[in-house]
Amino acid sequence: MSGCLSINRSLWKTSAAWMGPIFQTTNLMFGLGFAIGPQVAKPFLGYYDIVTGNYTFDADLNTTVAAPTADDYEGIQPVQVAYLVVGAMNILMAVVLMLTSAWFGVSTDRCNSVRDVVFQEADGNDDTELIPDEQDAPAKSLSELLESDPKPKQLEPCSRPGCVLVTLIFLAFFMNSGRSILYLGLLYTYLYEYLGWSVGASTFLLTMFHLVRFLVGVIVVPVARWVSPTKLVVFDLASLLLSSTLMLVALEEQAECGILTTVGVMVASLGDSNILPTLITLAEESIHVIAPVMSLFIAAYGVSLMVVGPIAGVLLNSTVESYPALLLALVVACILVLAVYFGIVRWLKSSGHWPQ
């Protein structure tokens, strides 16, 4: 998804009014796939085939299990089938994108061979067509577009204040990516393994979470053209803060645990539906989000996946309260980082250090 956002940013960067809706549409399709995923995997969950072996017991009642032999192998497991199905869907999507890219290159006479499609290099002048305002507009260099662009001036990312703002957005992206991973990767485990929900109830709530994300994303796509990313971020963070608080309180209220957890997950879907692309459009208002800057944001997602995911798994294995507590901590940390970001931007503009 991050790579698709980067590509769309390069294609639509000369049409500031359309960049927000395009980002939200990309995120919308990503959410639709996640909404379908739990139902695709549901038939393969809840089955445990235990391999039989030779069991021996000692006087202290400790159990020793012999290593399984080739005769014990009972074929592919249901959960492996689920992974194969999802993997096949990913490969199919990659093939579709490659064919689309090849067709676009050949139809525009930019690529006439497989070598051109695979190894084409970016234009050194960072030229791009004006999309969608001028269908046949000639390519313009980035410097020409910036000179003719009526929107407020932006900071250069290599400047000192630009580096500070890029770092803050990187941290916000990292924290929100980690929080998103907790919902996408651990929510089912949290509900099924630690709260004791059934497979049907867990997958249903997970599906509803992604379905609401999709529906809210449908609304945000047109709204993003007229509502500033600052207002969207404030709404998203408020929703996520309320959600994580409800889920944490649910563990203390055993009688209302199911209701509060359900409400918390549904409220989280409101903010989680658009916050990552909104952070990019927020950065675009203040900084030139050139390719290296965009790559930093994409790297933040990957680093968060490698860092937050394992830490959350270890903590959840220790105590069930760690799941909503970590969600709350990530949201609060993101709020503090963005508060510093907005404070620096306001100070730069009021003190005359902003580019004129």
Note down pLDDT in tens along the chain; length 356 residues. Answer: 555 655 566 555 555 556 556 666 666 666 666 666 666 666 766 554 444 444 444 444 444 545 555 555 566 777 677 777 777 877 887 777 667 666 655 665 555 444 454 444 444 444 444 444 444 445 554 444 444 444 557 888 888 888 999 999 999 989 998 898 898 888 888 999 889 899 889 889 988 888 888 888 888 878 888 888 899 999 999 999 999 999 999 998 877 889 999 999 999 999 888 888 888 888 888 888 777 787 788 788 888 888 898 899 889 888 999 999 999 999 999 999 999 999 999 999 888 878 76
The token pair that represents 277 in the structure block = 């692309």
Write down the residue that tokens 């503009």 correspond to. Answer: 349
Of the candidates 311, 290, 81, 266, the residue with the CA atom closest to the CA atom of residue 174: 311
Residue 141 CA from chain centroid, whole number:
31
Q: What is the pLDDT of residue 124?
A: 43
Nearest C-alpha neighbor of 137 from the set 14, 2, 32: 14
Phi-psi region of 128 (alpha: psi -120 to 50; beta: other; left: phi over 0): beta
152-350: CATH number = 1.20.1250.20
Tokens linked to 177: 């990516």
Locate tokens 């989000």: which residue? 289
Q: What is the pTM of this model?
A: 0.66
Tokens of 347: 């100070």
Q: How far apart are CA 90 and CA 52, in angstroms?
A: 34
**Residue 261 confidence (pLDDT):** 94
pLDDT of residue 3: 55
Q: Residue 145: its pLDDT value, please?
A: 44
Residue 113: how many CB atoms within 10 A of its CB? Answer: 11
Beta bridge partners of 14: none
DSSP β-bridge partners for residue 64: 56
The residues near 172 (Cβ < 8 Å, ≥ 6 apart) are: 279, 334, 337, 338, 341
Token pair in block for residue 106: 């050949």
pLDDT for 222: 83
Q: Which secondary-structure segment (H or E) carries 321?
A: none
Which tokens is 240 given? 């996520």
Cα 92-95-101 angle, rounded to 5 deg:
145
Q: Which residue in the block uniquely carries the two structure tokens 């990552």? A: 276
Q: Where in the chain is the domain with CATH 1.20.1250.20?
A: 152-350
The CA distance from 128 to 139, in Å, is 5
Distance CA 84, CA 267 (A): 32
CB under 8 Å to 1, separation ≥6 — which residues?
26, 27, 30, 276
